[in-house]
């Protein structure tokens, strides 16, 4: 069925799929024109329409718990059956002390569980998915919960401030027969490419400007995506949907075009214009939005990107379980529609950008 390929695809012993998924987007929205108004005198273009901003009482832990509860509602499983709670983020509230143990406790997955926080810039979430495929696919666990969630950082006045948003998604992986979408194959591609980073104890990331494009984002997305397609003997038109990491609107559109995908295939999962770049949550919430509208038999390509740098690529096939489970939790669109616009001053307060002492 597949062509012989020298590139090693990742395939577990047992077939693995997604048994439940859930998303979260905080209520507040900062229009990009507000950033432009404050920093550029209202001149120049804006890379997106607006971004989602977390409230004063929200962080990656609370947001992950809500997404995980939705995933559990859709999976319909007993949380004590979960053997791993893994949270990928660039915004873990603690440097030392896991986000994942708080999440695991809150959803009732403790104590017979693995718990760990993942870090790989914007692909920390899909890295946790890749690991969960191994955990479930080896038979070590029946279920594993992987989350990509962020309250993204962007230095005030930096180009990233327009897009650094908040949100993400959780997926519970389990046996294929219980799944609403089954992993056909996956692949990871990583190199030492320093395009974007945040050092310990720094509040905001730094980046290499245009270096984040060609040799970083495009090289890794394209390498991972095309290798996976080739190993499957598949082409873009064999997929119903494609989701790419979305730091802005232009990058994923160009990456999709380069791999042969049409705007129709990417539109349902392309959320960046309305919620911003949710860093480790970005490609995963795109997948959640696609699952919200997918039909049994649909194929989905998911390719993440994390600076530093790497991409995880997944091919998924949607099963008939999607129809009965989809409505058991809020859709991504429902979260996006729940919208309260704020100005830059309110945003500065909510995000702790005013130093009070």
Closest by CA to 145, choosing from 66, 68, 89, is 68
Cα distances (angstroms) measured from residue 213 to each of 24, 90, 206, 313: 28, 20, 14, 18
| Distance of alpha carbon 331 from alpha carbon 74, whole angstroms | 11
End-to-end CA distance of the chain: 64
- Annotated active-site residue in 34, 122, 253, 321: 122
Minimum distance from residue 274 beta carbon to another protein (Å): 25
Residue 275: which of 146, 114, 123, 165 has the closest Cα? 165
CB of 194 or CB of 297, closer to another protein? 194
**Beta strands 114-118 and 82-88: pairing type?**
parallel
Task: Identify which of residues 219 and 312 has a Cβ nearer to another protein in the complex.
Answer: 219
**Which residues, in sequence order, are CB contacts of 68 under 8 Å at separation 6+?**
22, 85, 103, 106, 107, 145, 147, 170
Say whether residue 134 binds another protein (CB under 8 A).
Answer: no
Strands 143-151 and 82-88: parallel
Interaction of residue 215 with another protein, rule CB under 8 A: yes
Coil, strand, or helix at residue 14?
Answer: coil
**220 has catalytic annotation:** no
Cα distance between residue 326 and residue 122, in whole Å:
26
Quick one: 214 or 327, whose CB is closer to another protein?
214
Q: Report in angstroms how near the CB of residue 36 gets to another protein at its nearest.
A: 12
Mutual angle of helices 124-137 and 282-291, in 10-degree steps: 60
214 or 235: CB nearest another protein: 214
Asked if 214 touches another protein (CB under 8 A), the answer is yes
Dist. CA 166–CA 150, nearest whole Å? 5
Q: How far is the CB of 209 from another protein (least distance, A)?
A: 5
Which of the residues 43 through 82 are near another protein (CB under 8 A)? 43-44
Count of residues near another protein by CB under 8 A: 8
Catalytic residue status for 112: no
In the bound state with another protein, the residue whose beta carbon lies nearer, of 210 and 338, is 210
Residues 9-48 within binding reach of another protein (CB under 8 A): 43-44
Least separation in angstroms between CB 45 and another protein: 8
Question: 171-210: which residues touch another protein (CB under 8 A)?
Answer: 208-210
66 given a catalytic annotation? no
- From 58, 66, 90, 161, the catalytic residue: 90
Task: Note the residues at the interface with another protein (CB under 8 A).
Answer: 43-44, 208-211, 214-215
**Residues labelled catalytic:** 90, 122, 245
């Amino acid at each position: 069925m597949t062509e012989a390929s020298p590139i090693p695809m990742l395939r577990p012993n047992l077939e693995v799929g997604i048994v439940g998924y859930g998303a979260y987007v905080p209520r507040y929205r900062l229009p990009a024109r507000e950033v432009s108004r404050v920093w550029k005198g209202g001149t120049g273009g804006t890379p997106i329409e607006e971004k989602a901003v977390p409230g004063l009482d929200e962080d990656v832990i609370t947001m992950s718990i809500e997404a995980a509860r939705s995933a559990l509602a859709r999976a319909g499983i007993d949380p004590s059956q979960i053997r791993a709670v893994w949270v990928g983020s660039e915004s873990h509230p603690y440097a030392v002390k896991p986000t994942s143990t708080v999440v695991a406790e809150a959803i009732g997955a403790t104590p017979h569980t693995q718990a760990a926080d993942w870090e790989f810039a914007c692909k920390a979430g899909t890295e946790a998915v890749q690991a969960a495929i191994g955990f479930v696919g080896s038979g070590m666990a029946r279920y594993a919960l992987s989350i990509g969630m962020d309250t993204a950082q962007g230095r005030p006045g930096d180009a990233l401030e327009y897009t650094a948003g908040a949100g993400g998604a959780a997926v519970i992986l389990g046996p294929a027969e219980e799944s609403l979408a089954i992993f056909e194959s996956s692949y990871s591609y990583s190199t030492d490419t320093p395009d974007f980073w945040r050092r310990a104890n720094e509040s905001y990331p730094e980046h290499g400007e245009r270096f984040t494009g060609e040799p970083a984002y495009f090289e890794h997305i394209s390498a991972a995506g095309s290798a996976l397609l080739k190993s499957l003997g598949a082409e873009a038109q064999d997929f119903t949907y494609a989701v790419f990491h979305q730091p802005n609107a232009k990058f994923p559109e160009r990456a999709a075009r380069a791999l042969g995908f049409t705007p129709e295939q990417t539109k349902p999962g392309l959320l960046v214009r309305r919620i911003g770049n949710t860093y480790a949550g970005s490609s995963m919430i795109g997948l959640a939005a696609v699952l919200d509208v997918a039909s049994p038999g649909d194929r989905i390509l998911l390719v993440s990107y994390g600076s530093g740098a790497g991409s995880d690529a997944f091919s998924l096939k949607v099963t008939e379980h999607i129809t009965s489970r989809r409505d058991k939790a809020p859709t991504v669109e429902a979260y996006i529609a729940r919208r309260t616009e704020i100005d830059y001053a309110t945003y500065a307060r909510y995000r702790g950008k005013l130093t009070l002492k």
